Amino acid sequence: MVKLFSPLELGPITLKNRIIIAPMCMYAAEEGKVQPWHHQHYGMLAQSGAGLLIVEASAVSPEGRISYADSGIYSDECEQAWREVVSNVGQYSNIPMVMQIGHAGRKASTELPWNGGAPIAPEIENGWQTIAPSELAFSDEAPLPKAMTQDDIGRLITQFVKSAQRAHKAGFSGIELHAAHGYLLHQFLSPLSNQRSDQFGGSLENRMRLPLTIFDAIKAALPHDFMIGVRISASDWADNGWDIEQSIVFSQALDARGCHYIHVSSGGLTAQQQIKVAPNYQVGFADAISNNVSMPVIAVGLITQAQQAEDIICEGKADAIALARGILYNPRWPWHAAAELGVTIQAAPQYLRCQPHELKSLLIRD
């Protein structure tokens, strides 16, 4: 059996295969509300043949957006806009859809990537005051964030719970809690960005407290059949920062709480990071965590080839692989992987005629 195309249980959801579409921000929303672009974009990805579609990070509050054009899940209008996307996609695809929810913290209030992506100061148009665990900027060029008070933290926990409830009402099958890439929950985890002296800073136990509290609150507020996963950065790639040893402890704490999967990425917390990018450069982190938890582990990062993905799973380094930029470049990556590995994959009946003459058994009706 080709393991890449074998089923996988992520808590209450069973995936048809182990190819996952990782979340990638589109920077195409208006006041947090997704637009017609998103209907086209996610409709396209839903026909890819992947086993799970995780939509872009959606902010739990307006100031939690990375940029002024990021999507949100913090209002009735945001919820309704996403509900329409889920409904439209679901008419023609049975792929499970999960929403990544998060808060950008000190990395919020930025320009769009294709306009340079620079931080926007609070007094400038499209900018606002950012918040963080401590009054420490992401880089020399970034404005100082406001250190969060106890009231701010209490408000944030409520925002995450309400946003998860909105995602459920919008029709998503689950949420992925975004604790990676230098955004707010990662900022609480890392000693480089969290220099608090209260119960949310200092020791590893204290730095994990807020993400775990949010996880517990969401789990208590949502039905048992609503999937809850977490994405982490396993390393800051910087001296004295968050690392794989701390990631294992955090993952074990999530595992004990009934987390349905852990999605292992890395980096994004500091401008001083030194990442050695190469194929499989993050897979070792997933492997280390997989050896220490019982929940499924998803690996991501420069996984571009079918046999490469199959080997990762066959060798037990992860239970699934995720594609981000690679599937934006090639939205039929799962079809091509199935062809290379000699297996059949389901597709919409409208596409059955497109399979190559020499691959007449590649596609079957979904």
Q: Which of 27, 42, 74, 183 is catalytic?
A: 183
Two structure tokens written together for 107: 């990395």
Q: Kindly report the number of other CB atoms within 10 A of residue 203's CB atom.
A: 10
Residue 314 CA, distance from chain mean position: 24
CB 185 within 8 A of CB 64: no
Task: Return the H-helix or E-strand segment holding 54.
Answer: strand 52-59
Reduced to 3 states, what is the DSSP secondary structure of residue 341?
A: helix
- Which ranges of 96-196 would DSSP assign to H, the alpha helix? 150-169, 184-189
Q: Which of 58, 280, 31, 326 is nearest to 183 (CA)?
A: 58
Two structure tokens written together for 62: 């307006």
183: annotated active-site residue: yes
Q: Kindly report the number of other CB atoms within 10 A of residue 279's CB atom.
A: 11
What torsion, rounded to 10 degrees, do the Cα atoms 172, 174, 180, 181 define?
A: -20
Strands 146-147, 52-59: pairing kind: unpaired
* Euclidean distance between CA atoms 346 and 363, whole angstroms: 6
* Euclidean distance between CA atoms 233 and 239, whole angstroms: 15
Active-site amino acid positions: 183
